[in-house]
Amino acid sequence: MRIFVTGASGWIGSALVPDLVEAGHHVIGLARSDASADALAAAGAGAVRGTIDDLDVLRDAAASSDGVIHLAFKHDLAFGGDFQGAAEADRRAVDALGDALAGTDRPFVLASGLLGVAPGRVATERDMPAAEGSPVAVRAATAKATLALASRGVRSSVVRLSPTCHGDGDNGFMAALVATARAKGVSGHLGDGAHRWPAVHRLDAARLFRLAAEQAPPGSVLHGAAEEGVTLRDIAEVIGRHLDVPVVSVAPEDAAEHFGWLGGVLGLDAAASSTLTRVLLDWEPVQPGLLADLDKGHYFQTPAATG
C-alpha cells in the first residue's frame, strides 16, 4: 500500500516508517522541514511538505494514498498550556483526512491516548472516555469522529497509546520525571504512588499501527499497552536508584510545585488492558518492559561536557 503518515519523523513515526517500508509499503510522510524530509528519505520514504494546519495538503495526500496513519499532534502547544488549541487543530486535520477518504474503504488510523479513559479501573477497548467539560473531551470527540467514519466507507481505527511510550531517545513523561528528580534531588511519586500507568515500547507501538493499517476492521478501538499498569512508586524507585537520590512521597497539593506540568496527570490511575487488541490483530509486544528499559540506563545519560 501507499501509506500517508503524519508525524512521520516524530517519536513513533520514526519507528513506524522503517517498519512499514520493511513490510513492503510505499510511505509518504508529512514533513515540516528539510531535516524531516531528509530523515524520511534516509528511511526509504518520500515526503510531502506541510503541517497539520495545511488542510489542502492533507486532503491531497490522503486522496492519492491507499491509507493514512495520523500520528501528528501539536505536543509543543499542548505542553505549553494550550491543550485545547492543539486538540482543535487535530480535529480539523482529522476532518480533512476523513473527508478525503470517504467512500474509499481505505484505512485511516488515528493516534489517541489512554489517560482518562476509565480512571480507577482497568480500561478495555470497549470503554469510551467521559471527559465532558475538559480539554481532553475535544480529543475524545475526535476519536469518536474517526470511528464514525466507518459509516462513511472508511476502514477507520483508533490506537489509544499508553502515556508511557518508552525507549532510547524518549523525551516524554519518563524523561520529564528523571529531569525533575535530578533537579530536585529526590525521586518523587504522588501520594502512596499506587497510581498505575500502562506502558509500551515505541517499537511495539509502531508495529501496532502497521497492523492496524493492514488489518483492523472498520470502527476498531485498539490499545497500545504492552503492560497493563506500572505503579508510579515503582518508577520512582528505579529513578531514585539510578540517580542515587531518596524516593519520597509528594502530597497532592504540592504536585504542581514539585512536578510542574506533570503534576496535573500523575494522580490519574489509568491501567489499561490490550487483550482484545492482541486477539484481533495477533499483536504480541516483544520489547523490554518499562522498568527493564529504565534499568538499561539510557534515560540517565547526560550530554558530555564541551570545553
Residues 6+ apart with CB under 8 A from 132: none
Residue 198 scores a pLDDT above 80: yes
Q: Where are the beta strands (DSSP E) in 61-195?
A: 67-70, 107-113, 155-161, 164-166, 187-190
Contact 221, 157 (CB under 8 A): yes
The string of pLDDT tens digits covering residues 121-143 is 999 999 988 656 565 677 888 99
Give the integer Cα–Cα distance in Å for 125 and 58.
Answer: 28
Q: Give the three cell numbers for residue 170.
A: 524518549
Name the H helices within 200-272. 202-215, 232-243, 255-259
Type of residue found at 54: D
User: CA 152, 154, 160: angle at the middle one, nearest 5?
Assistant: 115
CA neighbor of 161 nearest in space, from 9, 1, 13, 292: 13
Contact 171, 11 (CB under 8 A): yes
Whole-structure pTM value:
0.93
Q: Hey, which residues does 70 pair with through a beta bridge?
A: 6, 110
The string of pLDDT tens digits covering residues 244-270 is 999 999 999 999 999 988 888 888 899
The string of pLDDT tens digits covering residues 209-238 is 999 999 999 999 999 999 999 999 999 999
The string of pLDDT tens digits covering residues 28-50 is 999 999 999 999 999 999 999 99
At 229, phi and psi to the nearest 5?
-170, 120
The mean per-residue pLDDT over the stretch 165-182 comes to 94
List, as one string, the DSSP characters of 39-68. HHHHTT-EEEE--TT-HHHHHHHHHTSSEE
- The band of 307, judged by pLDDT with boundaries at 50, 70 and 90, is very low
